[in-house]
Amino acid sequence: MPINTKSMRTAQDGNRIMTVWLDVPGKLVNTFNAEVFADFAEVLAEIEREKPVGVIFTSAKPHHFCAGADLFTLGKVPLEQATDFVKLGQDMFERVANLPMPTVAAVNGDALGGGCELALACRYRVMADDTTISIGLPETKIG
Catalytic annotation, residues:
69, 114, 117, 139
Burial class (CB in 10 A: 0-12, 13-18, 19+), 139: middle
Query: In whole angstroms, what is the distance from residue 140 CA to residue 75 CA?
Result: 16
Residue 18 CB: number of other CB atoms within 10 A?
23
Query: In whole angstroms, what is the distance from residue 106 CA to residue 123 CA?
Result: 11
Query: In whole angstroms, what is the distance from residue 93 CA to residue 98 CA?
Result: 9
Query: In whole angstroms, what is the distance from residue 76 CA to residue 29 CA?
Result: 20
